[in-house]
Amino acid sequence: MAKIKILLVDDEDSFRELMKVRLNQWGYDVDLAVNGKAALEALKKDNHDVVILDYMMPQMDGVATLKEIRKNDADKPVIMFTALNEVSVMKGAQNLGVSAFVPKLSAYADVHEALKTAIDMAIKKPKNK
């Protein structure tokens, strides 16, 4: 059985690297992108099963990146990391089909279990046809 391939998009180097290590430990194949533009390029080159996307990034934030992803793939499972607790932000992203929101407190906060659960749910979610 092929490994699940994840694209992790985050502009914060330490967080991105720490999460890659954790995702690899869980058995996932992980590619990294430092911003939304790099994420879109990575998605053109390779078929990722799940995208984990930071909400707050310079140049192109998570919602703008998600809008671009949805133009090409309406069903791609996307999990959004967010340090914000604003209902309007979450609602806007939910309208674009976010599979889950995971709080991003810091690279050292215990978000791992919430992320693992979100990935498992996103992978098992039936595709809209």
Instruction: Please report which confidence band the pLDDT of residue 129 belongs to, taking 50, 70 and 90 as the band edges.
Output: very low
Average pLDDT score over residue span 45-60: 91
119/91: higher pLDDT: 119
Q: Any idea what the CATH number is for the domain that residue 64 is in?
A: 3.40.50.2300
In a domain, 126, yes or no: no
Q: Taking a C-beta distance cutoff of 8 angstroms, is the pair 37, 60 a contact?
A: yes
| Nearest Cα to Cα of residue 83 among 56, 116, 60 | 56
Domain count, the chain: 1
Q: Looking at the domain assignment, is residue 121 inside a domain?
A: no
In a domain, 127, yes or no: no
* 7 has a pLDDT exceeding 60: yes
| pTM of the full structure | 0.80
Question: How many residues make up the chain in this entry?
Answer: 129
Residue 31 lies in a domain: yes
**How far is 51 from 120, CA to CA, in rounded Å?**
13
If one counts every other C-beta atom within 10 angstroms of the C-beta of residue 102, the result is: 19
Residue span of the structural domain in which 73 resides: 5-113
pLDDT tens digits for range 84-98: 665 555 555 666 677
